[in-house]
């Protein structure tokens, strides 16, 4: 699985920029945190099915991630 994502500064900066862009575009804070959580899960090796099983919000997350 490699190093934890927080040790990779470019990954952290990308995640912060991604969250900022979502917030600026008018996304709800809960939706942004769910998207970031799902991105982390995918980055750590969990399957995309884990996000999709969360329902409509999971599908929105997958659209935002991909």
Q: State pLDDT tens for residues 26-66.
A: 777 777 777 777 777 777 777 666 665 555 555 555 556 55
pTM (two decimals): 0.46
Long-range contacts of 34-38 (CB under 8 A, 24+ apart): 34/61, 35/60, 35/61, 35/64, 35/65, 38/62, 38/65
For the chain, state the CA radius of gyration.
12
The owner of tokens 């991909």 is 66
Domain boundaries, position 17:
5-65
Give the residue, 5 or 22, on which the prediction is more confident: 22
Three-state DSSP at 51 gives helix
- For the chain, the domain total comes to 1
Of residues 7, 8, 30, the one with CA closest to residue 19: 30
pLDDT at 66: 52
């Amino acid at each position: 699985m490699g190093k934890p994502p927080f040790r990779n500064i470019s990954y952290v900066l990308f995640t912060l920029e991604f969250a900022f862009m979502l917030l600026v575009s008018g996304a709800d804070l809960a939706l942004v945190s769910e998207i970031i959580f799902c991105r982390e899960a995918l980055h750590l090796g969990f399957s995309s099915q884990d996000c999709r099983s969360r329902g409509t919000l999971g599908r929105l997350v997958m659209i935002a991630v991909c």
